[in-house]
Amino acid sequence: MKKIKSKIPFSIWIIGIASGLLNITSSFIFSISGMFLNSRGITIDWISALEHTVEALAYLMKVFSGIVSDYFRRRKTIILIGFGLSMFSRPVLAIGATFFAASAAFIIMFLSRIMERIANGLQSTPRDALVADLSPEDIKGECFGLRQALTTSGSFIGSFLAILCLHLTSNNYEKLFWFATLPPIVAFLIIYYFVHDSQHHYLDTQDDTDRAKEKINHPTVPAATEPRHEISFAGMKRNMMRLGTKFWALMMVVAVFMLARVSESILTLHALKNYGLKESWGPIVGVIYNTATALAAYPIGRLSDRFSRTAVLAGGCLCLVISDVLLSFSPSILYVYIGIAVWGIQIGVTQSTFLALIADFAPSDLRGTGFGIFNFFSAISIFMAGIYGGYISKHYSIQNMYAVSGFIAFMAIIILYFVHKYVFSLQANNVTKECCK
């Protein structure tokens, strides 16, 4: 009898839509923040440092929120706190841009971006863990792909609105920042009324697949019928061990790959400074890569449910290499646009695939912790990418910076190959045998 395919739960659609609304304003601000600061006399190395510092802070907050959501078993509550803080960060930015001078505006934007990124960090990991909790096993990649596509659609809309508003207001950044205060309110309300925690994954016993994973990954770990998330060093150590060898091997790939992910804000500055793109058209960069991300995420998620997720991930890493080559050696702005589109495709491919792999490898009661650790490794690598990206861009050239990024992405592909060959493949057969006993 042909197996009936599962349907994507309604709550995942709502989570994606709410995240998209939040991303409308995030992308709106992100699309113009670099140009705004540059217009106030802030140099590219400071802009790069700002973007990567706040991004790294967001990733670190994702570690905390993931662990807390596993411990308290209330993912929705933490998501709402994050959405609420995001609402308050927008007026802070608008006030700073409207009423303060250039030097103070940088500080106000820095504080606002910290608030916004903390908010993003608080809600992002519990959101992805909740998607994993709600997703049927046979369409897990598809569910993450849909969430990523809906979220990135908000980024596309935000970038498009930024272009429109820049033209309508003659580059009046202050009005744009005030407009960005509205969508987070709607996002908060639809999460509050239409999304609920999944109780199925909060039981104190494991299913057969989780038991098999833990027996293979670390056979000395105590049985899962013991208390799970005790607040102690021993409890944390046991949970780290329970995540398993495949999870930690994947984190090694994450650390190297994210080191190649320099800030997307430099994409805009690259087109402006080196290829003559007009400032009012700066947000077109965000439109291009967010559109590419949104179009790639869902079909790639479905593809990863039917074929090897590792192969799909390798394809995403290769897209980053191709993008870096185009951005480093482009003879005209047309090739820069193509490079930006490929950059967007790699985000759609790699982000949802990383999340699906983590959901595959981590026990169900440790998904928040697993996603949090993923973001911890990403934070360290992104912060380091900001340092070398800003330094090379200022003292050498943006083209050289993308060449270095491409080399690092290529190294990530090599590491992924060996991880797949010597970790993922060797343990897959053992897990299958244990599940069948």
What CATH number is given to the structural domain containing 317?
Answer: 1.20.1250.20
- 3 in any annotated domain: no
| 5 domain-assigned | no
Residue 404, domain member (yes or no):
yes
Tokens of 329: 């050696």
In whole angstroms, give the CA distance from residue 269 to residue 273. Answer: 6
Specify the number of domains making up the chain.
1
Q: Do the domain assignments include residue 4? A: no
And the tokens for 297? 């995420």
Residue 300, both tokens: 């790639």
Q: Which domain holds residue 35?
A: 10-198+206-436
pTM: 0.74
Joined together, the tokens standing for residue 368 give 């928040």
For the chain, the average pLDDT equals 76
Q: What is the mean pLDDT of residues 57-67?
A: 77
Inside any domain, residue 64: yes
| 3-class secondary structure, 205 | coil
Which tens digit of pLDDT belongs to each residue from 389-429?
778 877 888 788 888 888 998 999 999 988 887 777 765 54
408 within a domain of the structure (yes/no): yes
Residue 13 has pLDDT above 70, yes or no: yes
CB 266 within 8 A of CB 48: yes
- Structure token digits, residue 349: 């491919």
Please give the Cα distance from 10 to 198 (Å, whole number).
Answer: 12
pLDDT digits (tens, 9 = 90+) for 218-233: 443 433 443 445 555 6
pLDDT at 224: 41
Residues 6+ apart with CB under 8 A from 336: 270, 271, 275, 326, 327, 330
CA angle 309, 147, 356 (to 5 degrees): 25
% of residues, the chain, pLDDT over 90: 5
Does 43 have pLDDT greater than 90? no
Write down the pLDDT at residue 26. Answer: 76
Rounded distance between C-alpha atoms, residue 120 and residue 114, angstroms: 10
Measured between alpha carbons, how far is 141 from 357 in angstroms, rounded to an integer? 9
Residue 2 in domain:
no
Domain membership of residue 16 (yes or no) is: yes
pLDDT tens string 392-403: 877 888 788 888
Least confident of 26-35, 149-158, 246-255: 26-35
Quote the tokens at residue 380. 């360290």
Distance CA(374)–CA(59), nearest Å, equals 9
For residue 253, what are its two tokens? 């790939």
